[in-house]
Amino acid sequence: MEKTFVFCYFMNFDPAELKTLIPEQIEYWQHYAPENFIGGPFKDRSGGMLSFSAPDLDAATAICENDPFVKKGLVNQYWVKEWLVSHRR
């Protein structure tokens, strides 16, 4: 059974680097977390948050560790947590 996870990350805002990596990140997440995926940047561009499904914490962590922003060194801090969703509309 798939579980819901949250990937919250903080980064150094580098507009030039982000311009090239945003399409890569979108494609990455469409491939690795196509179902129940939502995400986006914080308004101040200090980072972002994603919610997605994975079978377990190890799988979710591996997905996040391979995020293009993480792999290219733009992310300076992140965490991955299982989220027990109790309310949906």
Residue 24 confidence (pLDDT) above 80? yes
The C-alpha angle with vertex 12 and arms to 45 and 76, in degrees rounded to 5, equals 115
pLDDT at 52: 94
Residue 87 confidence (pLDDT) above 80? no
pLDDT at 46: 92
Residue 82 confidence (pLDDT) above 80? yes
User: What would the DSSP string read from start to end of the chain?
Assistant: --EEEEEEEEE---HHHHHHHHHHHHHHHHHH--SS-EEEE-TTSSEEEEEEEESSHHHHHHHHHT-HHHHTT-EEEEEEEE-------
**With contact defined as beta carbons under 8 Å apart, do 70 and 11 qualify?**
no
**With contact defined as beta carbons under 8 Å apart, do 39 and 51 qualify?**
yes
